[in-house]
């Protein structure tokens, strides 16, 4: 019996050692990582808001992990070019993706085929921030909020137009969803550059425009346009006087956002480490203030499970909205 007990104990000990080895290896890997600069793929051009945010946030994360992020801008193809490059990168902890909502949750519904799978090819490291949009009107439009706009539009069919950056981009989809929920038929006037759309709204050539907060705020504060609603599910910090669309249409949430992702298979210990350091950076008062000045708002990175659940929920929500507003994949 003693001999059997000894054999069982030895087997159990061996099994425990085998289980501990991967954990020990991962812990050791984090201690030596990073040994070289980390590539951060940004799917927009240098100088754009996503690029600026990526550099601001990862500079501070780099300080905390004892390394540095080197931004590689890979614009084009509706975020496809850069996202595909990240998906095909070695999952060794030296490549991360600054992922937008378009890359992960709207592209699957607007493209017939993608050269990457947003869920199989990536792991969400952490949520970064949300960037709401604002619905603005020319001062002569006799409405000061969304219910007033709906009433005015129904009483004056065919007399209002939205300036957007196209039906398949955020401003266009926000305009279309407001039309759908409100039973309206306000036409979209697409612009290749939204500053021109804003100027045409100021001039009265179109009556409504959907803009991101950084572009909308100065026009609103100067009295050139008036804000009717915001696209976040709650009122925007610092702009609490402006109601959310969700106050008229519960559940409305068409907000731009960014997450930090890594190629699937990236060592879990590295993913967990970056998640914790990203969360710490995003919760500092200085970073919260700096992002808000740009027009983005954060509650921290969340846990790995929370970040993944957020992306999944957004994917499901857009899966209902895009077909409902009549967008077909191309």
Asked whether 325 and 173 are in contact (CB, 8 A), the reply is yes
Q: Is the pLDDT of residue 283 over 80?
A: yes
Phi, psi of 99 (to 5 degrees): -95, 135
pLDDT at residue number 28: 57
Mean pLDDT of the chain: 91
Token output for 327: 């967008």
Asked whether 103 and 114 are in contact (CB, 8 A), the reply is no
- pLDDT, greater one: 241 or 13: 241
Instruction: Using DSSP, state whether 273 is helix, strand or coil.
Output: helix
% of the chain at pLDDT higher than 70: 91
Reduce the secondary structure of 14-55 to three states and give it as a string. Answer: HHHHHHHHHHHHHHHHHHHCCCCCEEEEECCCCCCHHHHHHH
Q: Is the pLDDT of residue 108 over 70?
A: yes
Rounded average pLDDT over 285-289: 96
Q: How confident is the model at residue 48 (pLDDT cuts 50, 70, 90)?
A: confident
Beta sheet of 161-164, edge-to-edge order? 187-190, 161-164, 208-212, 133-137, 226-230
Rounded average pLDDT over 9-24: 50
Q: Is the pLDDT of residue 286 over 90?
A: yes
Q: What is the pTM of this model?
A: 0.84
Asked whether 231 and 212 are in contact (CB, 8 A), the reply is no
Q: Is the pLDDT of residue 25 over 90?
A: no
Q: How confident is the model at residue 69 (pLDDT cuts 50, 70, 90)?
A: very high
Distance CA 220, CA 223 (A): 5
pLDDT at residue number 29: 62
pLDDT at residue number 324: 92
Q: Is the pLDDT of residue 197 over 90?
A: yes
What does R_g of the chain's alpha carbons equal in angstroms? 23
Instruction: Using DSSP, state whether 12 is helix, strand or coil.
Output: helix
Rounded average pLDDT over 101-115: 93
Neighbours of 171 (CB within 10 A): 27
Max Cα distance, the chain (Å): 94
Rounded average pLDDT over 300-328: 94
Asked whether 26 and 70 are in contact (CB, 8 A), the reply is no
pLDDT at residue number 173: 92
pLDDT at residue number 9: 52
- 15-19, 177-181, 207-211, 274-278: lowest mean pLDDT where? 15-19
Query: Which DSSP category does 206 fall into?
Result: S
Q: How do residues 201-231 score in pLDDT, each as one tens digit?
A: 999 999 999 999 888 999 999 999 999 999 9
Domains of the chain: 33-131+255-324 (3.40.190.150), 133-247 (3.40.190.10)
Q: How do residues 123-136 score in pLDDT, each as one tens digit?
A: 999 999 999 999 99
**CA nearest 257: which of 202, 213, 290?**
213
Rounded average pLDDT over 106-122: 94
Rounded average pLDDT over 256-282: 97
């Amino acid at each position: 019996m003693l001999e059997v007990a000894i054999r069982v104990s030895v087997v159990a000990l061996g099994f425990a050692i085998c289980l501990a080895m991967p954990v020990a290896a991962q812990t050791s890997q984090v201690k030596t990582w990073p040994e070289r600069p980390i590539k951060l793929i940004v799917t927009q051009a240098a100088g754009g808001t996503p690029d600026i945010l990526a550099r601001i946030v990862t500079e501070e994360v780099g300080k905390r992990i004892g390394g540095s992020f080197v931004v590689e801008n890979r614009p084009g193809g509706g975020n496809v070019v850069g996202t595909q490059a990240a998906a095909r990168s070695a999952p060794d902890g030296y490549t991360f993706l600054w992922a937008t909502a378009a890359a992960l949750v709207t592209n699957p519904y607007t493209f017939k085929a993608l050269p990457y799978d947003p869920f199989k090819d990536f792991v969400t490291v952490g949520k970064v921030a949300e960037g709401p949009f604002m619905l603005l009107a020319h001062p002569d439009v006799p409405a000061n909020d969304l219910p007033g706009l709906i009433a005015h539009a129904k009483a004056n069919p065919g007399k209002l137009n939205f300036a957007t950056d196209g039906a398949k981009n955020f401003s266009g989809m926000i305009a279309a969803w407001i039309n759908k929920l409100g039973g309206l038929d306000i036409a979209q006037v697409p612009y290749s550059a939204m500053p021109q759309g804003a100027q045409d709204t100021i001039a009265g050539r179109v009556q409504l425009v959907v803009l991101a907060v950084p572009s909308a705020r100065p026009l609103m504060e100067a009295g050139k346009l008036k804000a009717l609603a915001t696209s976040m599910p709650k009122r925007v910090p610092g702009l609490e006087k402006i109601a959310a669309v969700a106050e008229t249409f519960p559940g409305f949430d068409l907000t731009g956002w960014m997450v930090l992702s890594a190629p699937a298979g990236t060592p879990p210990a590295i993913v967990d480490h970056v998640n914790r350091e990203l969360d710490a950076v995003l919760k500092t008062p200085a970073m919260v203030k700096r992002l808000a000045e740009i027009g983005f708002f954060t509650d921290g990175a969340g846990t790995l499970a929370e970040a993944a659940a957020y992306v999944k929920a957004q994917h499901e929500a857009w899966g209902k909205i895009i077909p409902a507003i009549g967008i077909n994949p191309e």
